[in-house]
Structure 1
Amino acid sequence: MYPQWTKLVCSSFSTSECLWERSCSRKLTVTLFCYSATSPDGVVKLDTADFGDRKVFVQLACAFRYGSEDLDVIGLSFRKDIWIQQVQIYPESHKPQLSAMHDTLLKKAGDNAHAFTFEIPNNLPCSVSLQPGPDDKGKACGVDFEVKTYLAKEKNNPDETIEKKDTARLIIRKVQYAPSEVGPGPKADICKSFMMSDKPVHLEASMDKDYKVFLLYFHGEAIPIKVKINNESNKTVKKIKVTVDQTTDIVLYSADKYTKTVFSQEFGETVDPSGTFENTLSITPLLAENKEKRGLSLDGRLKDEDTNLASTTIIRQGVEKDMLGILVSYKIKINLMVAGGG
């Protein structure tokens, strides 16, 4: 017996980060500074000696991938660009308003450096990766953001071959900010009857923070669950089991759904017949305890030190679910183990 709900929010604040990458030909060096979730600033340093009539473009793409890179050659992997934007920086046509970070990066890069910036729409999804198994190769399935700088004669010519040696790529993460308002915590109750017992067991569970304003939990923060039990039956409640399930819905092209348990713990609380129980149980779902589970949704790559379990997907008003690619939600279940009763 258990009450259940789906309103567990685990959010993460993005942090500023400076990244850089150089093409194999060493003609392109891109430096990117991510301070805001909506407008990454960057600079590309060029060696134009052998460019000829080719131009330099910078592209930011939000893409959904389902399948590994190894399957691309036989056409089995699936990739769809959810959103894409390109700017030409050489010969110069894109002239963003320079920020203080642009000035710093341009000064550091020296001659032949060109600035760029992108404005990311608010309706785009956050970065989500499905955790691969130990033997899986290639890119993990999920939603990612890639900044690509490349040499080409035309901006969008599918027939033009872009040399890998003249391409520099950076993967960036878009993480979810904590919303300003979430709402009060959920509450659920259930009444269970048993054979050979005239009266039932009542279970009530609720989630509220001490200040009782908004229900919001961050990665690594303990989650208190208030549990009330009124055992009117002639059975003995032997223990309480709490589990947290993560559900991942792939909504972009199919109805695939994965449910994985990310937390499970038994509490040795006994409630005798005609007895009552009221207490707060504390739980903390962590990626560190689930690293071997394939198919978990993460907010980054497993090899990144600051990766966590993916945040609950917050669907803004007017945003189509298909645009989000992957929806992540959590469910908490509370089971009472009753002697001779299930």
Structure 2
Amino acid sequence: MVVNFKVYKKCSPNGKVTLYMGKRDFIDSITTVEPVDGLVVLNDDYVRNNRKIYAQLICHFRYGREEDETMGLNFQKELTLASQQIYPQEKSDVVMTKMQERLLKKLGPNAFPFLLTMPPNSPASITLQQKAGDESQPCGIQYFVKVFAGDSELDRNHRRSSVALGVRKVQYAPTKQGVQPCTIVRKDFLLSPGELELEVTLDKQLYHHGDKIAVNICIRNNSNKIVKKIKAMVQQGVDVVLFQSGQFRHTISSMETTEGCPIQPGSSVQKVVYLQPNLIPNQNRFGIAVEGDPKRRETFLASTTLLSAPECRDAFGIIVSYAVKVKLFLGALGGELCAELPFVLMHPKPTRGKMLPQESAEINDEKIVDYE
């Protein structure tokens, strides 16, 4: 039986250090994260001279634009989450994955495995879209596996013998649906009797990317005001926890309707509207949170950030949330009535052997090698 598998390969500028990885997406299951594993192949000169080789997992967090970095300000942080000396190996009893074992047979004695542990409370890979034509480094959170030769794990001066490959930390949707979202809001008026009641219900709490959201709207007008228009929208919330004012909201899908309007005093209306959050109509909008690198040909809106506990919030660089908002317009004197329901938007967990579209495409100068 022949088994095909794909491997990501990237070489250092001097060609003496080569990094191999079987995948670039690592799953965060809230309490644990998949270990980051791969192999490094060294040139014979490095092996004979016992050059020290290190592998590190780097988290790069940019929270401000490069063009605003003046007077010594620096709007980025780089954290080393894990570090390991690959060669000479400090441990002889290294537990390898099946992919590492297969590659080790193919690549020979100069191949050395590594295993890096990602902290469970580290943030997910999220990038904020830039303006069209902006080539500067985007704001967001990116991860890199960096392999380099040096005298210590802090010695990164030898750039020609260094190689870095981008990886992603992703969360997938839970297998069970939560409680069906529902809310009722009422509004009374100072000089008018009665009240206006708006009830909004979603068909479920958890949606996958590409799903349509069915919004059930029930309006009971027990006031003497007239409802002239109904607007429903999906909003993406982005919270950069580093700033108190770093909270943004973007409407990524909306619809307005006057069907059944005006809603006269004493009458009621019930209807269902459908919304579909999608990146395609929002691709050129500044500040929209997307998964990973927006320069890839295929990407998605950023998934909802799941937290194991509210106190873990500060450990996440960027938190993404979604909500459906329904607004009733009553005219200039009547004002508005709004109802809001949060929901979860995520990818379903892929079946075994199935990869996301991003994993099957060639990216930048990294090569994909097929092995049998």
Instruction: Select the residue among 58, 63, 77 that pairs with 1:61.
Output: 58
Aligned pair 1:176/2:161, yes or no?
no
- What is the rounded CA distance, in whole Å, between the counterparts of 1:49 and 1:73 in structure 2? 44
Q: TM-score, normalised by structure 1?
A: 0.82
**Shift in Å, 1:63:** 3.1
- What is the rounded CA distance, in whole Å, between the counterparts of 2:162 and 2:187 in structure 1? 63
- AA at the equivalent of 2:314: D
Cα distance change on mapping 1:17 and 1:228 into 2, 3 Å: farther
1:67–1:76 Cα contact (<8 Å) kept = no
Residue pairs, 1:167-206, within 5 angstroms: 167-180=162-175, 183-193=178-188, 198-206=193-201
**Shift in Å, 1:297:** 1.4
- AA at the equivalent of 1:337: F
- What is the rounded CA distance, in whole Å, between the counterparts of 2:117 and 2:192 in structure 1? 64
Cα distance change on mapping 1:223 and 1:318 into 2, 3 Å: closer
2:242 aligned partner: 252
- What is the rounded CA distance, in whole Å, between the counterparts of 1:317 and 1:332 in structure 2? 23
- What is the rounded CA distance, in whole Å, between the counterparts of 1:71 and 1:237 in structure 2? 46
- What is the rounded CA distance, in whole Å, between the counterparts of 1:193 and 1:289 in structure 2? 37
Aligned pair 1:333/2:286, yes or no?
no
1:131 aligned partner: 129
Between 1:305-314 and 1:44-53, the stretch displaced more is 44-53
2:145–2:167 Cα contact (<8 Å) kept = yes
2:260 aligned partner: 270
Instruction: Please list every run of 5 or more consecutive structure 2 residues that lacks an aligned counterpart in the other structure.
Output: 28-33, 336-372
1:43 aligned partner: 39
CA RMSD of aligned residues (A): 2.8
Aligned pair 1:310/2:307, yes or no?
no
1:204–1:229 Cα contact (<8 Å) kept = yes
- What is the rounded CA distance, in whole Å, between the counterparts of 1:226 and 1:164 in structure 2? 58
- What is the rounded CA distance, in whole Å, between the counterparts of 2:134 and 2:64 in structure 1? 10
1:174 aligned counterpart, secondary structure: strand
Cα distance change on mapping 1:140 and 1:197 into 2, 3 Å: same
1:224 aligned partner: 214
Q: TM-score, normalised by structure 2?
A: 0.76
1:320 aligned counterpart, secondary structure: helix
2:319 aligned counterpart, secondary structure: strand
Cα distance change on mapping 1:75 and 1:100 into 2, 3 Å: same
2:253–2:277 Cα contact (<8 Å) kept = yes
1:19 aligned partner: 8
2:299 aligned counterpart, secondary structure: coil
**Shift in Å, 1:180:** 4.6
Instruction: Select the residue among 82, 86, 109 that pairs with 1:85.
Output: 82
Instruction: Please list every run of 5 or more consecutive structure 1 residues that lacks an aligned counterpart in the other structure.
Output: 1-15, 210-214
Between 1:252-261 and 1:109-118, the stretch displaced more is 252-261
Cα distance change on mapping 1:116 and 1:309 into 2, 3 Å: same
- AA at the equivalent of 2:158: E
Percentage of identical aligned residues:
34
